[in-house]
Amino acid sequence: MQENKIALVTGASRGIGAAIAKTLARDGFDIWLNYRSNDEQANKVKAEIESLGAVCLLLKFDVANYAETEKALSPLLEKQTPFAVINNAGFRRDTLLVWMKQEEWKDVISVTLDGYFNVTKTVLPFMLRNRQGRIINIASAAAHHGAPGQGNYSAAKAGLVGATRSLAFEVAKRNVLVNAVSPGYIETEMLEGLPMEQIVKNIPLGKAGKPEDIAEITAFLASEKAGYITGQVFQVNGGIF
């Protein structure tokens, strides 16, 4: 009996990450579910994944910390290699640059960019050895257009887009495909505090998206159907940009 492929999803205890993990489980992946602190929510997602018939391994570590990341993943990688890595972990700390504290800048950059580096750097050698793999980075519409108060978040996500394109060149010959998905306004906790009534008026489809909208294109990029796609950024935003 052939074993299921494994997908490692970071920041997957809620929101877009949880939707991605559940959708990949539906499509036949076993899940390595990373989260940082919310045990209750992570266990809830685990139960939902297992109800789909998939295996779910909870991995509690801070992706921004290289030592934690390596300690959590290295023993597992000696036995199994994820076919797909979805770098989803990220968060916002919005404020105008003139008032932004150094830690508000560094924390947002670190979780997104250091998190991408730490996780990808740890898993990539094993993917290259196997000559197969998918790395899918969850960016943001903020990577492509400015937004007041989001200088840190926009910089982090724009950096992730650049990193995606560069890595795609580096690993294509080993059949490791690297792409990014840039969500627009998606119904998650990330929208808290935003003037959504006004924002929705400017979205051509007239509504915010759902986490499943991002999960479905991510699942496609992790599938065999996307075997000739690499170095691309897919914007899922209802037409706003």
Residues noted as catalytic: 153
Helix (H) or strand (E) holding 74: helix 66-77
Is 10 exposed, middle or buried, given 0-12, 13-18 or 19+ CB atoms closer than 10 A? buried
Query: Residue 215, Cβ neighbours under 10 Å: how many?
Result: 24
Cβ distance 61 to 69 under 8 Å?
yes
Alpha helical stretches, state H, 78-206: 102-109, 115-130, 151-171, 196-201
| C-alpha to C-alpha distance for 234 and 4, rounded to whole angstroms | 26
Residues 25-42: b if buried by 16+ CB within 10 A, e if exposed: bebebbbbbbbbeeeeeb
